[in-house]
Amino acid sequence: MNTSRDIPNPRDASAFRFLDCDYHPETGVASLSYAFDNGPELVEQITFPHAPWPPEASRQACFRRALEILWLVAGVSYYKAGLSPRMELSKPVPAEGLDIFLTGLYVEGLAEFGYVNQVDVAARVRFPVSEAEPEAQLETEPGAGRMPVARPLILPERALVAMGGGKDSLVGLDLLKRAEIPVLPICVGGAALIRETVQAAGLPLLAIDRRLAPELSLMNQAGALNGHVPVTAINSAILLCASILYGCRYIVFANERSADEATRKTLEGREINHQYSKSSAFERAFREVIARQVSPDIEYFSILRPYSELAIVQRFAGMREFHSVYSSCNRNFHIDGPRITGRWCLDCPKCRFAALSLAVFMKPDEVAGIQGGDLLNDEKQEAGFRALCELGHEKPFECVGEAGESRAALASLGARDEWRQHAVVRALLPELESLVVPSLKDLLRPSQQHFIPPSIQKAVLVHEGGAGSLD
């Protein structure tokens, strides 16, 4: 058995190597392997339970291409341990812009990682481009002649819906269900809380098991770099494979427009977004990769992209059947299991933003009933709420709403008798007088900037009375 003494420090490696990817239809297990220099092989396993192997050769080829993309995307979890200056691929990858996409994902997705660890990630990431001629970048099927990598696919008009256990995925799922679009809820990992929320919706949950290479934790002990990685990008690539295996034309996430706001800006003016892989920029780039590399018939999009965090919370406030089972606290969702007992830790940016946004549409006793405490009336939480509103503190590296949304929410509470005397509201409200605070009405209005397919948008709008609003 390997120990940390047997594992070299990946920061000393000169190259990060993408070794291989494979899939075993009889077990539903995909294996993704990597290594630093000639060090130990790092093998990640992803299990697609009860996944039928498609009989069509074209669909099999699309899956294998999707698996290669997953292999390249998931490598970010291992590459970041050493940030080697050289990358090596064991198999040629057709250019077609994939190298540009991967470079962008690693640079932007690891921007926070580099900022925290004080490393220039952009100076190190260099994905090699295949030197093959364009003709050689075409795959051939027996008797079919040359075909481009991307293939047409006929998949059922069903939505594979990513579930996270929080309000966003529940609101997204509710929109699709009410619009009578067939759905298959899916998650990566086995969080019990996610299963409970989907059960409350009266639906089964498909859970994909992802097991990181065990050597990664030993590398951390040996001195590896550690920190935030773009998990949503990895999950998106996993769901791309799943959509082909299980037969779903639509891959649906519930990422809101607030995810586009930069979390931090460096002194040099560079924007760092903790939520890059939830942003519309990533969504656009990954859609292009799917269309060019896998199939133009697979639609990847966020059903909540038109809406702000506050607009989503407004709708969720009325979904009372989920109030007791959901949680937005990230300490519930770790790959090695929850790190708290109960659903809310009541001392993190996610818990604070949930309290602040829910308060706009609910009464104090209702919010406290959900979270198990009244954070807005706790003086010790003032600094954390200042950070959300960017009032003398920097916005936290977390999946929270825009600073303008937090300020608008705070201003809204200051106008209500039941909230204005709460300790945090009373302390911070005067500081908004010298600032331009966004209009709550404007924040609740949906944007027209999204990638929702017209057919699904029409179905949702019909259900919503044609207004396209979550009011």
CB-count exposure of residue 164 (10 Å: 0-12, 13-18, 19+): buried
- Say what the pLDDT of residue 328 is: 86
Task: State both tokens at 421.
Answer: 């005397």
Q: Look at residue 241 and give its three-state secondary structure.
A: helix
Close Cβ partners of 222 (under 8 Å, ≥ 6 residues apart): 4, 7, 8, 9, 10
Average pLDDT, whole number, for the chain? 89
Q: Kindly report which listed range (173-177, 223-227, 329-333) carries the lowest average pLDDT score.
A: 329-333
Backbone phi and psi for residue 194, each to the nearest 5 degrees, phi listed first: -65, -45
* Cα–Cα dist 158/205, whole Å: 15
- Say what the pLDDT of residue 222 is: 86
Structure-token match 């809101």, residue found: 256
**Does 54 score more than 60 pLDDT?**
yes
Close Cβ partners of 268 (under 8 Å, ≥ 6 residues apart): none
**Does 362 score more than 50 pLDDT?**
yes
The pTM assigned to this predicted structure is 0.92
* Cα–Cα dist 421/245, whole Å: 55
Q: Look at residue 233 and give its three-state secondary structure.
A: helix
How many other C-beta atoms lie within 10 A of the C-beta of residue 295? Answer: 25
* Cα–Cα dist 23/46, whole Å: 9
- Say what the pLDDT of residue 388 is: 96
* Cα–Cα dist 63/51, whole Å: 12
Q: What does the domain layout of the chain look like in residue ranges?
A: 11-130+137-302, 328-443
**Does 462 score more than 70 pLDDT?**
no
DSSP 132-194: --GGGG-EEETTTEEE-SS------S-EEEE--SSHHHHHHHHHHHHTT--EEEEEES--HHH
CATH topology for 11-130+137-302?
Answer: Rossmann fold (3.40.50)
* Cα–Cα dist 149/151, whole Å: 6
Instruction: Please state, for a pLDDT cut of 90, what percent of the chain lies above it.
Output: 75
Task: State both tokens at 201.
Answer: 């919706």
Q: Kindly report which listed range (226-235, 300-309, 391-400, 456-465) carries the lowest average pLDDT score.
A: 456-465
- Asked whether 425 and 376 are in contact (CB, 8 A), the reply is yes
**Does 148 score more than 80 pLDDT?**
no
* Cα–Cα dist 181/183, whole Å: 6
* Cα–Cα dist 49/205, whole Å: 11
Residue 71 has what DSSP assignment? H
* Cα–Cα dist 413/120, whole Å: 42
CB-count exposure of residue 309 (10 Å: 0-12, 13-18, 19+): buried
* pLDDT tens, residue by residue, 28-53: 999 999 999 988 999 999 999 999 99
Instruction: Please state, for a pLDDT cut of 70, what percent of the chain lies above it.
Output: 90
- Say what the pLDDT of residue 140 is: 39
* pLDDT tens, residue by residue, 88-132: 998 876 656 899 999 999 999 999 999 999 999 999 998 886 554
- Say what the pLDDT of residue 5 is: 60
- Say what the pLDDT of residue 95 is: 59
- Say what the pLDDT of residue 342 is: 72
Region 169-183: mean pLDDT is 93
**Does 468 score more than 60 pLDDT?**
no
β partners of residue 250: 159, 299
CA distances from 82 to 104, 287, 376 (A): 18, 29, 41
Region 166-173: mean pLDDT is 94
**Does 137 score more than 50 pLDDT?**
no
